[in-house]
Amino acid sequence: MPRTSDKRERLITAAKTLFHEQGLAQTTLADIAATARVALGNVYYYFKTKDDIASAVIAERAAEVRDVLDSCDCASCPRECVVSVLKKMRGRAAEYVDKGCPVGALCQELGRSDSPLTDQAYGLVRAQIDWLTDKFGAMGRRDARDLAVQLVSEMQGVSLTARAIGDARLLRRQLDRLIEWVETL
Amino acid sequence: MPRTSDKRERLITAAKTLFHEQGLAQTTLADIAATARVALGNVYYYFKTKDDIASAVIAERAAEVRDVLDSCDCASCPRECVVSVLKKMRGRAAEYVDKGCPVGALCQELGRSDSPLTDQAYGLVRAQIDWLTDKFGAMGRRDARDLAVQLVSEMQGVSLTARAIGDARLLRRQLDRLIEWVETL
DNA sequence: GTCTATATGTTGATAGAC
DNA sequence: GTCTATCAACATATAGAC
C-alpha cells in the first residue's frame, strides 16, 4: 500500500483530456473514473464535487499556459518572445483544428454560469493578455494592452474559424500572417 | 381553436434565448416549455427530439445572420458593406460582453459532437466568411478569403476576450480599430 | 392539438463493508 | 484508501385521456 497514490493526478489528467474532447457538461464522472482506471466511488475521496475536478483541471491548464509563456520568455528580445508563442501554436495547428483550443473551450462553456469557475477560466485568457502586454510594452508600444488583446483575440478567433472550415493549412497561414505582423510591428 | 398556433414559434424563440444564455446542454426541455408557456408533453408534438429544436434554433440564427448581412448590403460600395457589419456589432457591444456571441457559442458547444448539428452551426461562420470574401473580392483584393477569415476571426476573438475582461468599452475600441482597418484597406 | 401522468435512462453523490 | 451497491434527482421521451 503506497503512502502516496497517483490516482488524483490520473483523474485530473483524464478529466483534462475528456473536457477538451467532449466538453465539461458532456463528460460524466463515470467517464473520468473509467479513463483514469479508478472506481467511481473512489473519485469522491479525492474530489468533493465535479466542480472541484473542473477547478483542478483549470489550474492545470493555467500551469500549462505559464509553462508555455515561460519557455517563450527570453529576456533579450520581447518581439522574439511573442513570435515564439505564435510559432508554438503553429506547431499544434492540427490539434487546434481537430479538438479546438482548450482554453477557449473552457471559457466559452464556463462563461455562462457565474460560478467561481467562470473567473478562473477567464483568468487563463487574462494571463496571456498580461504577458503579451508586458512584451509589447517592452517593445516601446504605448498601446501595448490593446495590441495584446488584439493578438489573443486573433489566436482564439482563427482557431474557431479554422475549425469551422476544417482546414489546418488555413490556420497555419493565418498564424504566419500574425508572425509577420509582430515582426514588422 | 385556432387552425394555426404560434406555439412552435414560441418554443423556438424560448429555446434560442435559453441556449444563448445558458448553453445547449444546460437547457432542459422543461425550461424551454415553461418559458414558452407550453406544456412539457406538448413539446413533442412540434419537435421529435431535443436535437430537432436545436436544429430549428440554428436555422433561425442562420436567418438572422442572413438578415444582418442583407441589411448591410449596398450594391454601390463593398467597403461600406463591411463597415456596416462592424458598426452593427458595435451597437450590440454590451450584449456581446454580457451574453457572448450566439454564433460563437453554438459553434463551440457543437464543435465537439459530430452530429449533423455541428456542420449546421459551423455554417453560420462560413456564411459570414463567404459574404465577406465576396465584398473583399469586389474591393479588388486577391487575398479576399484570407481577409474574410481574418475579420470573422477577430470578431469572434474580441467577443471572447472582452468577456474575459468584462469590459464593453474594450470591445468597442477593438471594433473601432477594425473599422479603421477596413476603411484604409 | 393539448394536457397529465409516467416510463426509462442517466447523473452526481452517498453509504458502508473491507 | 478502495471498493460495490445504491440513492435521489433530474432529463428525455412516451402513453393515452380529453
**Residues 6+ away with beta carbon under 8 Å from A41:** none
Give the distance, in angstroms, between residue A41 CA and nucleotide D2 C1'. 9
Q: Taking a contact as any Cβ pair under 8 Å apart, which residues of chain B between 28 and 67 contact chain A? A: none
- Count of domains observed in chain A: 2
Q: How far is CA A30 from CA A26, A43, A54, B33, in A?
A: 11, 9, 14, 30
Residues B37 and B78 in one domain: no
pLDDT at residue A34 above 50?
A: yes
Q: d(Cα B104, Cα A92) in Å, to the nearest integer?
A: 22
State which residues form the domain around A22.
1-47
Q: Taking a contact as any Cβ pair under 8 Å apart, which residues of chain A between 92 and 121 contact chain B? A: 100, 104-105, 107-109, 111-113
Q: Check: CB of residue B25 under 8 Å from CB of residue A25.
A: yes
Residue B106, CA atoms < 13 Å, CB-side half-sphere = 29
**Residues within a 7 A CB radius of strand C:** A 27-30, 40-41, 44, 48-51; B 3-5, 7, 38-42, 45
* SS3 state of residue B182: helix
Report percent pLDDT > 90 for chain B: 96
Q: How far is CA A173 from CA A168, A170, B137, B146, B176, in A?
A: 9, 5, 19, 9, 25
User: Per the CB < 8 Å rule, is B111 touching A100?
Assistant: yes
What sign does the CA torsion over B104, B93, B173, B138 have? Answer: positive
| B55 in a structural domain | no
pLDDT at residue A1 above 90?
A: no
* CATH number of the domain bearing residue B79: 1.10.357.10
pLDDT digits (tens, 9 = 90+) for B44-81: 999 999 999 999 999 999 999 999 999 999 989 999 99
| B57 in a structural domain | no
pLDDT digits (tens, 9 = 90+) for B131-141: 999 999 999 99
Residues A70 and A120 in one domain: yes
Closest CA–CA distance from residue B5 to any residue of chain A (Å): 32
Q: d(Cα B155, Cα B103) in Å, to the nearest integer?
A: 11
Q: Look up residue B14 and give its three cell numbers.
A: 424560448
Residues A68 and A143 in one domain: yes
Residues A39 and A126 in one domain: no
Residues A170 and A101 in one domain: yes
Q: How far is CA B95 from CA A105, A122, A138, B149, in A?
A: 20, 18, 34, 23
User: Per the CB < 8 Å rule, is B109 touching A108?
Assistant: yes
| B135 in a structural domain | yes
Residues A11 and A65 in one domain: no
* CATH number of the domain bearing residue A8: 1.10.10.60
Residues A80 and A18 in one domain: no
| B9 in a structural domain | yes
Instruction: Return the residue matching grid coordinates 468577456.
Output: B163
The residue from A28, A47, A66 where one domain ends is A47
Residues A87 and A174 in one domain: yes
Residues B27 and B74 in one domain: no
Mean pLDDT value across chain A: 97
Closest CA–CA distance from residue B1 to any residue of chain A (Å): 40
Residues A96 and A113 in one domain: yes
User: Per the CB < 8 Å rule, is B125 touching A164?
Assistant: yes
Q: Average the pLDDT over A48-70 and give the result.
A: 98
Give the distance, in angstroms, between residue B45 CA and nucleotide D14 C1'. 11
User: Per the CB < 8 Å rule, is A177 touching B109?
Assistant: no
Q: What one-character DSSP code corresponds to residue A41?
A: G
Q: Average the pLDDT over A31-55 and give the result.
A: 98
What's the whole-model pTM score? Answer: 0.97
Nucleotides of D under 7 A from a protein CB: 1-6, 10-16
Q: How much is the pLDDT for B2?
A: 57
Residues B106 and B29 in one domain: no
Residues A175 and A113 in one domain: yes
Residues in chain A with CB shorter than 8 Å from the CB of B110 are: none
pLDDT at residue A65 above 70?
A: yes
User: Per the CB < 8 Å rule, is B160 touching A108?
Assistant: yes
Q: How much is the pLDDT for A135?
A: 98
